[in-house]
Structure 1
Amino acid sequence: MIKEFIFIILILFAVSNSAQTKKLRFDKITTADGLSSNHIAFIFQDNRGFLWICTQDGINRYDGYRFKHYKHIPGNINSISDYAANHIMEDSKGIFWISTREGLNKFDPASEDFIHYKPQPNDSASLSNEKIVCTAEDRFGNIWVGTRNGLNLFNPGTNSFTPFQRNLSDKKSISYNYITVIMNDSKGNLWVGTQIGLNKFNYETKTFEVFKSETSTGTENEISSSDMDFNLLQNYPNPFNPATKIKFTIPASGNIVIKVFDALGNEIKTLADEYKPAGTYEINFNGEGLTSGIYIYQLTTGYYSKTFKMLLLK
């Protein structure tokens, strides 16, 4: 009897906890509340408690009540280098490092100026690629920069970079040039994630220990394709009736999803949901049976998503 009573109490406790979990509520914060864009790429909290929100239209600093915007201003070298920000990191000195598609940005909150770092022609000590994905600081205070074409170590004394890129003849080089994430573990080890494999950096030998799944399909052609950009083009013809073509490029192998929506955001059709190697592709869309109007198509793969509008005119 006692066992049955305890069992019933445990069941009631579990049900009570489940009911409490369902009461969680989310408050939505949008452009109507002062956010510069509803497209959020990354959120970070600094050592003073401020939230930094990377969007498709600049960076937002949020104190819980108000937003302060940092946007790209064409012609102003002290503004952020691009409209969209992908990632932000604060180092041990209180300096912020912002990743964009138009280079790396160093931001000093005291002056509120941005210093830009971009690849320079014929300069091997500059960034390996302008498309910056992420940054991290290691236990020695070094700043590491992940791009779509290699890993870079920042040298503050010379404002230069040391690149680490895939070398097909060196098994201890990084597994792939398209960097996705950089982090340190509790023991101070530096880990680098790529589109093909995980890498652990050896500080003594300046080499990498590579970890891949047994089903990894990385090939020489895939690795050499890392200099391509993720891209979605405007459909052609546009306006169209009833068929049109959509062209896109993916810089690394992965699952791609292409969907079509109406102007209200209702899904009309999934054109593709499949694994594809890196490359450029073209897909057809037939609007037969649909009414005239504006439609939206979206390409999503990995960390990236892009949309375009198209006009069906009958």
Structure 2
Amino acid sequence: MRQIIFTLVISGIIFLATGRSGVYGNCPTDPYEPNNTPPEASLLSYSDTVSNAWICPIEDYDYYKFQVTEGEYVRVFEIFPVILRPVIYILNQNQSPIFNNIYTTDLKFFAPYSGTLYISVTKRYWNNEPFEYSFGLQKVDVTPDIISVTDVPNDQGLQVKVNWKPSYFDPQNGINQTDFYALWREVDFFTTAENLTGKFDSFENINYSRIIPDDGSIYEINGSNWTFVAQIPAISNRPFINYSFIAPTLQDNVPTTFIVSAVPLQGYSLPVLWGLTGTGISIDNLLPEFTSYSIQTHINAIQLNWQVDMQIHHDLEGFRVYRHTTQGFTPDDQTKIADLNKNSLGYLDENVSAGTGYFYIVESYDNSSNSVFTPELSVSITNIILEPGIIPNEFKLSQNYPNPFNPVTKINFDIAVKTMVEMNIYNGAGQLVKVLVNEIKTPGNYNVTFDASGLPSGVYFYSLRAGDFRDSKRFILLK
């Protein structure tokens, strides 16, 4: 727990009225009386020791002020002596009491605003003699801060373990005022307003009675996109330990950011407490698998195309192309015809002869010495079709048809100028499902077929990036 404590020691001295009558007029009035104006108060720091500033032969008050931030949790504690303790008042900027400590020696409250609060201390006397009293002021760390986000091994980069500390008001602390913890994950992919389920100005304004965890909904909060991952009950009757939850990542080897809130039980005046965010990466050294590959014949040339999910395989180094005229050949230095960088998603072989059969193998490799080989390529297996027609004058992404679909649907898009084109499929939680297009396209009208066999029913999104153009749409798989 982060805390800063200071102690005030105040001594009172009795003066006879003779020769000190002027002091009576300077004594502050009771803070509950109307139009009370306290004397100039000393600003407290967390290292000061403050001595008595007001001396009267009758019961009076000392005033001190301190700076707070709205929502900050503050304690006035260890007020001594207990039996003869003074009465503590917390006053607002207008010197009106908002909290008091008459029956306890531990006063706790959330700062109602950012600014100055006053502490009013009522002096007490015992047998007509003053006594020393003291108390401490403490800021209490109450938020459920994330401690760590660690990899879950051998799961292909799909999950991380999120660990966070309990709120100060957790049942295991003996303060049973927390109902549950809400775990949120930042969604790191392009989306438009029409794909958002809702929007909140801040995390504090979220209404948990109207949202459901893990339903694929995306909310804009403070200008960023988030999804509600899980609702974890606050657990009572156990030792003080941290909480943890196995949460889905965005994808392998990509930083994923989480945040946790402590939601209070109904009937308590506590605010929803938000902790510090935490970011982690799930790394499982995945093989640089191809998502597609194809071969096409042209006049006096053969075109090879392939795709690898670059968002997942950040450690990809490049590609090697092998060729032979005999089926079943072994890819080696003797049959290698090209060594390409990781941005190359195709190869045009113009060193061919008419009437000769050719067989190709493409290898992808990363900086961890992992490599993957395609089967021998001799026929086209592409599902991307260029439709002849008028060259469009603007970029456009159309709604898929049919929608809802099961399990195949088509997506049309227009490319206005030659540029790099990316089309990706995401599930409702923002995780990448499939890369449909990742290559340079010339101007034209295109359509791509998406086969969702093997995927569960639900809401999905497809996004198109072409140069500076960005758009995405929502579609439904209904089995």
TM-score, normalising length: structure 1: 0.29
- Bigger RCO of structures 1 and 2 (CA < 8 A, at least 6 apart): 2
Name the TM-score, length of structure 2 as normaliser.
0.20
Q: Comparing both structures, which one devotes a greater share of its residues to helix?
A: 1
Larger Rg: 2
